[in-house]
């Protein structure tokens, strides 16, 4: 299995319950495609570098997981249509 990190930027215009439900959807999506979550970093509310959809702040989450090489493409394909996720990026972590 390969190590990956998924950065997820969630809208700041939603309440805590919806934000937590969105993060749970992301976790279930990773597990659905055979990924094993190793760590979730919650960076909290941060200022965006530029306005996205008229928002200047958003919540940042970084999910580290192990998965097969085909999983990130499937995960990103489904993240594209998720509500409240304004940006995402999945990268392969360096082997150290």
What are the pLDDT digits (tens) for 19-66? 999 999 999 999 999 889 999 999 989 999 999 888 999 999 999 999
- What are the chain's domains? 2-92 (3.30.70.60)
Q: Which pLDDT score is estimated for 4?
A: 93
- For residue 61, the tally of other CB atoms under 10 A from its CB is 21
Q: Exposed, middle or buried by CB within 10 Å (0-12, 13-18, 19+), for 70?
A: exposed
Strands of the 55-67 sheet, one edge to the other: 36-52, 55-67, 2-11, 85-92
């Amino acid at each position: 299995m390969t190590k990956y990190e998924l950065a997820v930027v969630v809208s700041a215009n939603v309440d805590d319950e919806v934000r937590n439900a969105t993060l749970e959807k992301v976790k279930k999506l990773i597990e659905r495609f055979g990924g094993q979550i190793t760590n979730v970093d919650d960076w909290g509310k941060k200022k965006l570098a530029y306005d996205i959809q008229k928002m200047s702040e958003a919540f940042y989450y970084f999910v580290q997981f192990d998965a097969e090489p085909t999983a990130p493409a499937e995960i990103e394909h489904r993240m594209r249509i998720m509500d409240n996720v304004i940006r995402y990026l999945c990268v392969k972590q360096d082997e150290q």
